[in-house]
């Protein structure tokens, strides 16, 4: 009785003191860190708090990131990477160690609200040619057992973010099926998710459909209606998102799990790097998506049932991502690398526009540019070196710095490398072709960046907007009371 009374007291205090806190929002973000201009994790966490973002999806279990999320009240999905699948799938001890290292230590000691573990990232992607396929179910089984041992299995759920290429349709959503070679494992995965109460997670990218297919109707990628709607019996589809989502619903139905909850692991629109990637299009897509989700309209096959969660891709730009798919890969963020909003966006979480990051530890305000006193005839190799190391994608067609002229191109490339090298004076030499300036060389929309001093990273985020302080302490207290009751067998 005493334990039950403590749980009731904690719950009552939680309701009384945090009653003004909004219900968990459906909109979250992906936080990727493939960048050499990484804002300190504490700054990024404060940025999410200021924008009332309550859900974040990570691609790994970075200790610095998780420490910064401690006590934030933000619900977290950590990632077990594809490279770790084989080890965890083949050894219960390895799974136990992974959970202890990346989950238990933070939930128990740091107060990180870890809700999901993503087992792999798009492991069924066609281009992987099945190399991770056999690891998924064994890895999930072992990690689930590890969570049971840690008394976390009822709180932390396992999911597998899937690329939309896992399913297909001959023509209309109602004909959606999983790829033939995936039917068996998808049935096993769906059964696992259904038994644990976890959603099926899928990544949907209408931008890529438009980018990869010149015949794809542009207005069908957005949410304002289309002059080329897709008719599927009694259902009419006016945007690619609804059509793609319902194709998955149909595929799940054909394996007996048509009612399984679905969450969107990644969805977004890049701001440059391709003709259709720009600020206007990105804002139109993301705002249209958010309005669509928060309206709770659902889709033709699931009317009134929006996705369980939607994680925007992404929070920040990542200038070290591979550009093999296209230059746009480095420009998916709703914020630039330093947490500055790229365009007005209402996330539906209480703020009408995005709020910028504060207290970003920039390097000094200086730039590396082409020396105007030197002939640039021999600059090609230096530019090639600079751009092979740093990010020059803004200079190419579809980029915000395209068309700034030869000297502008050289200066941009030199500065990108200089900032990447933390403004080491030697990195601006280029055989005398470069020079350091204290005058901002930015031109119009082409911004010459100043790097971030990540040596000033703080391990713990300060208390910003959202859940913090005593209120968050009560959330942690309630969780541990719940866990105590579970261990005592009286919950």
Point out the residues that are catalytic: 122, 266
DSSP 201-227: EEE--HHHHHHH-TTS-GGGGSSS--S
Strand order in the sheet with 55-58: 157-159, 113-119, 75-80, 55-58, 27-31, 310-312, 262-267, 200-203, 162-163
- In angstroms, the CA 113 to CA 182 distance is 32
Do residues 145 and 105 make contact, with C-beta atoms less than 8 angstroms apart? no
Sign of CA pseudo-dihedral 82, 84, 89, 95: negative
- In angstroms, the CA 259 to CA 244 distance is 16
Do residues 185 and 247 make contact, with C-beta atoms less than 8 angstroms apart? no
- In angstroms, the CA 202 to CA 64 distance is 27
- In angstroms, the CA 87 to CA 99 distance is 13
- In angstroms, the CA 377 to CA 405 distance is 14
Beta strands 55-58 and 113-119 are unpaired
Task: Please report, to the nearest 10 degrees, the dihedral formed by the alpha carbons of residues 294, 117, 460, 150 taken in order.
Answer: 130
Sign of CA pseudo-dihedral 402, 405, 406, 408: negative
Q: How far is CA 438 from the centre of its chain?
A: 35
Question: Which tokens belong to 19?
Answer: 């009653």
Question: Which tokens belong to 437?
Answer: 């300036």
């Amino acid at each position: 009785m005493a334990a039950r009374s403590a749980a009731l007291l904690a719950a009552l205090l939680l309701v009384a003191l945090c009653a003004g806190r909004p219900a968990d929002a459906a909109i979250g973000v992906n936080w990727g860190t493939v960048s050499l201009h990484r804002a300190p994790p504490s700054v990024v966490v404060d940025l999410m708090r200021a924008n009332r973002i309550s859900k974040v999806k990570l691609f790994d279990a970075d200790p610095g990131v998780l420490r910064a999320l401690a006590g934030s009240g933000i619900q977290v999905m950590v990632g077990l990477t594809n490279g770790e699948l084989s080890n965890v799938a083949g050894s219960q001890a390895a799974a136990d160690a992974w959970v202890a290292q990346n989950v238990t230590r933070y939930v128990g000691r740091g107060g990180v609200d870890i809700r999901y573990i993503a087992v792999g990232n798009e492991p069924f992607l066609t281009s992987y040619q099945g190399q991770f396929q056999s690891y998924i179910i064994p890895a999930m089984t072992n990690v689930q057992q590890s969570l049971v041992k840690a008394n976390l299995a009822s709180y932390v759920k396992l999911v597998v973010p899937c690329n939309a290429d896992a399913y297909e349709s001959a023509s209309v959503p109602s004909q959606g099926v999983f790829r033939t070679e995936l039917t068996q494992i998808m049935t096993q995965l769906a059964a696992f998710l259904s038994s644990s109460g976890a959603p099926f997670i899928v990544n949907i990218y209408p931008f890529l459909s438009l980018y990869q297919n010149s015949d794809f109707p542009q207005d069908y990628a957005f949410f304002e209606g289309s002059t080329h709607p897709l008719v599927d019996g009694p259902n009419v589809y006016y945007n690619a998102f609804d059509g793609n989502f319902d194709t998955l619903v149909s595929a799940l139905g054909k394996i007996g799990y048509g009612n399984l909850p679905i969450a969107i692991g990644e969805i977004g629109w890049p701001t440059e790097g391709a003709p259709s990637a720009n600020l206007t299009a990105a804002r139109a897509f993301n705002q249209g998506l958010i309005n669509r989700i928060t309206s709770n309209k659902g889709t033709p096959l699931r009317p009134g049932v929006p996705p369980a969660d939607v994680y925007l891709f992404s929070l920040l730009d990542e200038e070290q991502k591979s550009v093999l798919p296209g230059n746009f890969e480095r420009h998916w963020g709703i914020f630039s690398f330093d947490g500055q909003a790229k365009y007005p966006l209402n996330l539906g979480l209480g703020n009408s526009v995005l709020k910028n990051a504060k207290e970003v530890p920039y390097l000094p305000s200086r730039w590396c540019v082409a020396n105007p006193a030197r002939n640039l005839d021999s600059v090609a190799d230096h530019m090639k070196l600079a751009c092979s190391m740093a990010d020059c994608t803004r200079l190419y067609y579809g980029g915000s710095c395209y068309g700034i002229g030869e000297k502008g191109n050289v200066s941009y490339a030199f500065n990108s490398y200089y900032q990447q090298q933390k403004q080491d004076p030697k990195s601006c030499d280029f055989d005398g072709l470069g020079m350091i300036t204290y005058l901002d060389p930015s031109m119009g929309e082409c911004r010459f960046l100043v790097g971030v001093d990540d040596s000033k990273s703080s391990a713990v985020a300060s208390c910003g907007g959202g859940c913090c302080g005593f209120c968050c302490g009560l959330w942690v207290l309630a969780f541990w009371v719940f866990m105590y009751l579970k261990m005592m067998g009286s919950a």
